[in-house]
Amino acid sequence: MFNNLPLFLIFFFFFFGLVNGRWQYDEDAVVSVPTIHVDHSGLTTNFKTIQSAIDSIPSNNLRWIRISIKPGVYKEKVTIPGDKQYIYLKGEGTKRQRPIVVWDENQSLLASPTFSSNADNIKVENLHFVNSYNYPPKKSGGAPMKQAVAAMITGDKTAFYRCGFSGVQDTLLDAMGRHYFKHCTIEGAVDFIFGAGQSIYEECRIVVNAGSIGEGTIGYITAQGRSRAQDSNAFVFKNSEVVGNGRALLGRAWRSYARTIFYNSSLSNIVVPQGWDSWSNKDYEHQLTFAEVECYGPGSDTSKRVPWEARLSQEMVKYFTSMDFIDGDQWIRKQPY
């Protein structure tokens, strides 16, 4: 096939891997990713549910497997067990047509998630996860406020691209591990991004729906759970935006060393002037790292923020906002495309 190509093009083909129609540099070899197809109608594929496709993958899998999901509403609870690594969930269709995974449960943090990802080396793209227990929120006549998780992430080296997470209370449990979110939308009212993940949220849209619950409701965007000084985890929001209705604080401290940073992000006027809350950690405010750096918009005025809001050095800002914080160059570059 290369007989009539110039030498520089032949070199180009071998230097870059053509993976599923997109180019990715791979220093080892051309990566071939087998694909499983899911269609909720059951007309075009062997799998009607996402979970049945995941179940078909052998335990202790060591090679990437892509699960391609047709647009539609999938009313199911989806779990990636800890022994099934290297799964790439890929929703087909545009953002408006992408697959939606919906479940309705509120029993507990661990039991309620619509989507649970417990394995390392997972990639998810173009899917929308919803816990419909009390979503969409209602000012009257709706279900009472309870923990109702749309997604729980406990595995390491997990990335989400162009995904949506919708709920009201405790929407996204970013529990533990190194995670990367890009071009994602996370919606909720109370502690709707919480946990002890070591995570970067880049160019994400954070949507507060506290005003949809009732007048005067104060929401909380984050509840970060770093519990010890030596723990490396933090939530970093980079080049993102905070929008929505009602009023909300940027975060409150779930644990006594909580750490959350908003960097170069647009903050709308829904942000409450004090910005942050130490919650039950009022004696440990000096241990908290809640910071805003180079943010803009009507909610970015820090003149009335809590006096213990952190001031980060340039070195710390550079570290937290770079891919080095999550060792991204070591694992994100190796994901399939």
- 51 assigned to some structural domain: no
Domain total in the chain: 1
- 161 assigned to some structural domain: yes
> Residue 256: which domain range?
96-326
Q: Give the per-residue SS3 of 9-61.
A: HHHHHHHEEEECCEEEECCCCCCCCCEEEECCCCCCCCECCHHHHHHCCCCCC
pLDDT at 31: 52
CATH number at residue 298: 2.160.20.10
- 194 assigned to some structural domain: yes
Q: Which tokens belong to 321?
A: 């906002």
Instruction: Please confirm, yes or no, whether 26 is among the known catalytic residues.
Output: no
- 294 assigned to some structural domain: yes
pTM of the model: 0.90
Instruction: Please confirm, yes or no, whether 83 is among the known catalytic residues.
Output: no
- 218 assigned to some structural domain: yes
- 300 assigned to some structural domain: yes
Mean pLDDT of successive 10-residue stretches along the chain, which has 337 residues: 38 33 34 87 86 97 96 97 98 91 92 97 98 90 89 98 97 98 98 98 97 89 97 98 97 97 98 96 94 98 97 97 96 91
Cα separation, 70 vs 50, whole angstroms = 10
Indicate the helix (H) or strand (E) that contains 328.
helix 328-331
Report CA-CA distances (Å) from 219 to 96, 145, 212, 250, 264: 27, 12, 11, 9, 22
Cα separation, 191 vs 227, whole angstroms = 17
Which residue, among 84, 95, 171, has the nearest Cα to 132 in the 3D structure? 171
Active-site annotation holder among 39, 156, 174, 191: 191
- 77 assigned to some structural domain: no
- 6 assigned to some structural domain: no
Active-site annotation holder among 170, 277, 324, 327: 170
